[in-house]
């Protein structure tokens, strides 16, 4: 059965989609079968993988409103063996409204993925930059959460709110959910401020800082227009190397290792750390 990671941060512009795409490519390169789930109505992940969201006949929206089976929507990513995507379109915004009236609305994505999770080694869910019903669905479906963090002024203020939401999901929908750790993105280790923000998130919330941080690079901005990841566009770059190292950690330490009501919120870190 696949290990499922939700990649979440309600602040936009923290390289969440870049993280999902890059980790997915790195995991596929290592021989894993990987499904990327685009849960964001902006469909940036879908676009970055080389698909035109406006031209898709069906998407995750159709799955969530029970119009289409998930098997009929999943598509292989060109040029990367073992990598697949469950794409999004702007229609997904309508699905969010539809879900609000559904009984058990927080479990809709989890139930949709149940039938296909066994076909993959890892699922990565790209959650939208909000704490609405779509993100709740992503967290409910996941084993563990990855939090991308841009180490700049005020960027970490929403982490506490996200952790409160994760705690609520554990209480009411997914008691096994844990936080795998924080990925520092667009990181400039030369600045004292970036180092301070990263350390403050760890000390204040007891979150594990995953190594290495992902360095800032113009290569990340160039790749989406080409429908490629940093690992394809600049395979020898420090950014590509960072995501390969992070992907290796996901494989070495399965997120599903924490279970039960007494499990720590932070995966691999004892309560009270």
Q: What is the mean pLDDT of residues 47-68?
A: 94
Answer whether 44's CB lies under 8 Å from 229's CB.
Answer: no
Nearest to 145 by CA among 27, 258, 243: 258
- 93-147 residue pLDDT tens: 988 888 888 888 999 999 999 999 999 999 999 999 988 999 999 999 999 999 9
Q: Is 116 left (phi over 0), alpha (psi -120 to 50) or beta?
A: alpha
Residue range of the domain that includes 123: 3-251
| In-domain check, residue 189 | yes
Nearest to 113 by CA among 103, 124, 99, 129: 124
At 247, which CATH number? 3.40.50.300
| In-domain check, residue 238 | yes
| In-domain check, residue 266 | no
| In-domain check, residue 260 | no
Nearest to 185 by CA among 25, 17, 68: 17
| In-domain check, residue 271 | no
pTM exceeding 0.85:
yes
| In-domain check, residue 263 | no
pLDDT recorded at residue 202? 86
Give yes or no for residue 249 having a pLDDT over 90. yes
- Of 36-40, 53-57, 212-216, 223-227, give the lowest mean pLDDT range: 223-227
Query: How would you write 25-92 as a 3-class SS string?
Result: HHHHHCCCCEEEEECCCCCHHHHHCCCCHHHCCCCHHHHHCCCCCHHHCCEECCCCCCEEEECCCCCH
| In-domain check, residue 224 | yes
| In-domain check, residue 270 | no
- 160-187 residue pLDDT tens: 889 999 999 999 999 999 999 999 998 8
Q: Tell me the two tokens of residue 120.
A: 């993959």
pLDDT recorded at residue 268? 46
Q: Which segments of the chain does DSSP mark as H helices, in order?
A: 16-29, 44-48, 60-64, 92-99, 108-114, 133-141, 159-172, 192-205, 218-222, 230-233, 238-252
Please report which confidence band the pLDDT of residue 257 belongs to, taking 50, 70 and 90 as the band edges. Answer: very low
Number of domains in the chain: 1
Give yes or no for residue 259 having a pLDDT over 60. no
Answer whether 244's CB lies under 8 Å from 67's CB.
Answer: no
CA atoms of 239 and 243, how far apart (whole Å): 6
């Amino acid at each position: 059965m696949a290990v499922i990671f939700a990649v979440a941060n309600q602040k936009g512009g923290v390289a969440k989609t870049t993280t999902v795409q890059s980790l997915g490519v790195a995991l596929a390169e290592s021989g894993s079968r990987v499904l990327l789930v685009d849960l964001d109505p902006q469909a940036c992940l879908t676009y970055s993988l080389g698909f035109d969201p406006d031209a898709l006949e069906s998407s995750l929206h159709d799955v969530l409103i029970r119009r289409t089976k998930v098997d009929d929507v999943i598509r292989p990513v060109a040029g990367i063996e073992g990598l697949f995507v469950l794409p999004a379109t702007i229609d997904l915004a309508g699905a969010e409204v539809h879900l609000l009236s559904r009984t058990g609305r927080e479990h809709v994505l989890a139930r949709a993925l149940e039938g296909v999770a066994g076909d993959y080694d890892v699922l990565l869910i790209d959650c939208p930059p909000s704490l609405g019903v779509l993100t709740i669905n992503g967290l409910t479906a996941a084993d563990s959460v990855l939090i991308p963090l841009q180490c700049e002024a005020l960027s970490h203020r929403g982490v506490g709110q996200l952790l409160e939401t994760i705690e609520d999901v554990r209480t009411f929908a997914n008691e096994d959910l844990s936080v795998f750790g924080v990925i520092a993105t667009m990181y400039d280790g030369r600045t004292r401020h970036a180092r301070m923000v990263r350390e403050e998130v760890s000390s204040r919330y007891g979150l594990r800082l995953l190594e290495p941080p992902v360095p800032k690079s113009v290569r990340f901005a160039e790749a989406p227009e080409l429908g490629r990841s940093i690992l394809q566009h600049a395979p020898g770059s420090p950014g590509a190397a960072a995501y390969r190292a992070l992907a290796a950690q996901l494989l070495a330490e399965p997120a599903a290792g924490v279970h039960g009501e007494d499990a720590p919120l932070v995966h691999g870190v004892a309560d009270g750390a």
